[in-house]
């Protein structure tokens, strides 16, 4: 199992003298987060031999906290996928559902925690890449509010959308890792300091939901499979039994969230991935020709199908004559989604939905039809468009196929403590 | 690619690939032509989105413009396939 979870299993010991909050604890790191001296591939042949000369801010903070890093985990190439099957290094099996995908794109990180290869893990979430694998592998994953965690050293894919976030076997574990990685960083100007209500995020895992109001967006439940929906309502009933109340809400904008997300993410990807030209890093080439011809040859060899698809579609969406039709409309949809969530959260403490509308796909099932794969992200992408925090917590198994189902809770900006408190009531 | 996603054709895919500096094999062009038609047709539903007032409440974050340490040259060059005299070496521009 471990050989498909990690791309590189080199161990990085934390500061031995640190008596930090993570001393003696093991953490797996998604392979798009830079580790000084340890190769960081992003699941791509383009970076197969790339060794970062510096640590990501989150990695420095882990080391300072005394954590031991046990390896760099497998992922969809550059974070582009929902199954971890687009990795140039092969697929990862799902420890909670053998023969099925672990979800993606941070599939190796979720699998590492589920398989006990690491107590904790870091992933990144651009459109669900932490929450999807958490749901599929039966572990906890948190996508923080945009701006809570520094992305210095994270290899960029869609940088108006993405955040680094933690996985744990329990809500408290994931929250304890969040405590270590948050905080302003002058190397990521989008980060800011946040005043907590309590002592720490981990302290918020009290399981107290007495009086909590939960909004359930009907649009995010209607499209889900029957077994997922049943498990979801069982979890809501459990929260009700502990003193929470729920009401249904409508978010009409989310009907357009998937297309808005993909237009924005692909457009940003086409620009971000322009840096991979084979000059400063990347595979050597013996291609002849000028600058443009050589780049095109390196990129043909270095990128897999899904990455090429997104770069090309993003280039198209930004090209003259199409920018207003696609990119500008997608930005309108994004603003609409934000408004809808703000409104719904003015009348509910948290919003709840199934994390994924489906249970884990079988290995190889979804690769032929990219559009079908994109549609599976319907419940996770609106949260990135709205810059909000969300958590995925195990809700149980589907009574149709016996596979893991995750419950997603969404909160207001920088409302992570509230999410942690509510999610811990399901444990 | 034309205004109409139905009209995605192999030449259009090759043109975008050329803009993006990605060489494609003939079978990739064929596969992408069909997939892009489906995906762009789906993106067309953005036409139904109303114009929305975007009221971003953003503040610029500045830092003092001071000289500070950065990567040394050797570290910056360590991943380059080719270097010469302390510089990256790239292909001819034309």
Does pLDDT of A74 surpass 90?
Answer: yes
Residue with tokens 């009221």: B55
Does pLDDT of A175 surpass 80?
Answer: yes
User: CA-based Rg of chain A, rounded to a whole angstrom?
Assistant: 20
- Give mean pLDDT, residues A291-315: 96
Smallest CA–CA distance, residue A343 to chain B, in Å, is 15
Q: Percentage of residues in chain A with pLDDT exceeding 70?
A: 99
Question: Of A178, A161, A138, which is closest to residue A27 (Cα–Cα)?
Answer: A178
Nearest to A299 among B21, B38, B51 (CB): B21
Residue spans of the domains in chain B: they are 5-48
Question: Of A315, A306, A316, which is closest to residue A371 (Cα–Cα)?
Answer: A306
Does pLDDT of B2 surpass 80?
Answer: no
A368: Cβ–Cβ under 8 A, 6 or more apart, which residues? none
CA angle A244–A247–A253, rounded 5-degree value:
130
CA distance A389 to A121: 18
| Residue A292 in contact with partner chain B when CB distance is under 8 A | yes
Question: Of A146, A212, A181, A194, which is closest to residue A59 (Cα–Cα)?
Answer: A181
Where residue B1 falls among pLDDT bands split at 50, 70, 90? very low
Q: Distance between alpha carbon A349 and the CA centroid of its chain, in Å?
A: 23
Q: What residues of A are in contact with residue B94 (Cβ under 8 Å)?
A: 290-291
| Residue A305 in contact with partner chain B when CB distance is under 8 A | yes
- The phi and psi torsions of A2 (rounded to 5 degrees) equal -60, -30
CA angle A296–A299–A305, rounded 5-degree value:
120
Nearest to A329 among B32, B47, B93 (CB): B47
pLDDT tens profile A364-378: 887 778 999 999 999
Fold classification of B5-48 (topology level):
Histone, subunit A (1.10.20)
Give B46's DSSP letter. G
Are B79 and A50 in contact (CB < 8 Å)? yes
Superfamily of domain A2-253+336-426: Amidase signature (AS) domain (3.90.1300.10)
pLDDT tens profile A269-280: 999 999 999 999
- Give mean pLDDT, residues A388-402: 97
Enzyme catalytic residues of A: 30, 105, 129
Smallest CA–CA distance, residue B12 to chain A, in Å, is 10
| Residue B70 in contact with partner chain A when CB distance is under 8 A | no
Tell whether ipTM is more than 0.95.
no
Q: What residues of B are in contact with residue A309 (Cβ under 8 Å)?
A: 32, 35-36
pLDDT tens profile A322-359: 988 999 999 999 999 999 999 999 999 999 999 999 99
Exposed e or buried b per residue across A152-167, where buried means at least 16 C-beta atoms within 10 angstroms of its C-beta: bbbbbbbbbbbbbbbb
Provide the pLDDT for residue B52. 85
Provide the pLDDT for residue A320. 86
Q: What residues of A are in contact with residue B52 (Cβ under 8 Å)?
A: 332-333, 335-336, 339
Mean pLDDT of chain A: 96
Smallest CA–CA distance, residue B43 to chain A, in Å, is 5
């Amino acid at each position: 199992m471990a050989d498909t979870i990690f791309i590189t299993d080199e161990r990085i010991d934390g500061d031995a003298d640190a008596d930090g909050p993570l001393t003696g604890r093991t953490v797996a790191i998604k392979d798009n987060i830079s580790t000084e001296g340890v190769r960081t591939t992003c699941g791509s042949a383009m970076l197969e031999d790339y060794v970062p000369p510096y640590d990501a801010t989150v990695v420095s903070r882990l080391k300072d906290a005394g954590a031991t890093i046990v390896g760099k985990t497998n992922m969809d190439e550059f974070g582009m996928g929902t199954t971890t099957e687009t990795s140039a290094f092969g697929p990862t099996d799902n420890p909670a559902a053998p023969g099925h995908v672990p979800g993606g794109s941070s599939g190796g990180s979720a699998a590492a925690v589920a398989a006990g290869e690491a107590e904790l893990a870091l992933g990144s979430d651009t459109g669900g890449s932490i929450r999807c694998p958490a749901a599929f592998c039966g572990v906890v994953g948190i996508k923080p509010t945009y701006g809570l965690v520094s992305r210095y050293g994270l290899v960029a894919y869609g940088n108006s959308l993405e955040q680094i976030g933690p996985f744990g076997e329990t809500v408290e574990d994931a929250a304890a890792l969040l405590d270590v990685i948050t905080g302003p960083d002058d190397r990521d100007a989008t980060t800011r300091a946040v005043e907590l209500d309590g002592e720490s995020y981990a302290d918020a895992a009290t399981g107290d939901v007495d009086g909590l109001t939960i909004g359930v967006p009907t649009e995010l439940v209607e499209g889900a499979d029957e077994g997922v929906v049943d498990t979801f309502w069982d979890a809501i009933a459990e929260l009700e039994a502990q003193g929470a109340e729920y009401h249904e809400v409508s978010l009409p904008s989310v009907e357009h969230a998937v297309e808005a997300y993909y237009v924005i993410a692909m457009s940003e990807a086409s620009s971000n991935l322009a840096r991979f030209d084979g000059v400063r890093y990347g595979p050597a080439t013996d291609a002849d020709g000028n600058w443009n011809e050589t780049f095109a040859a390196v990129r043909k060899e270095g990128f897999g199908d899904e990455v090429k698809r997104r770069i090309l579609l993003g280039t198209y969406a930004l090209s003259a004559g199409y920018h207003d039709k696609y990119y500008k409309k997608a930005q309108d949809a994004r603003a609409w989604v934000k408004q809808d969530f703000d409104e719904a959260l003015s009348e509910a403490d948290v919003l709840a939905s199934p994390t994924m509308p489906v249970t884990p796909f079988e290995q190889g099932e979804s690769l032929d039809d990219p559009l079908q794969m994109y549609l599976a992200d319907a419940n996770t992408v609106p949260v990135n468009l709205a810059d909000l925090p969300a958590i995925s917590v195990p809700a149980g198994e589907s009574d149709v196929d016996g596979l893991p189902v995750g419950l997603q809770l969404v909160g207001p900006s920088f409302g992570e403590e509230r999410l942690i408190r509510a999610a811990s009531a399901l444990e | 690619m034309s205004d109409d996603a139905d009209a995605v054709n192999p030449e259009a895919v090759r043109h975008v690939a050329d803009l993006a500096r990605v060489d494609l094999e003939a079978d990739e062009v064929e596969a992408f032509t069909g997939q892009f038609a489906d995906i762009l047709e789906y993106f067309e539903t953005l036409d139904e989105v109303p114009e929305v007032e975007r009221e971003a409440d953003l503040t610029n974050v500045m830092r003092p413009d001071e000289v500070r340490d950065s990567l040394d040259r050797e570290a910056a060059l360590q991943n380059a396939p080719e270097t010469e005299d302390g510089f990256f070496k790239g292909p001819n521009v034309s």
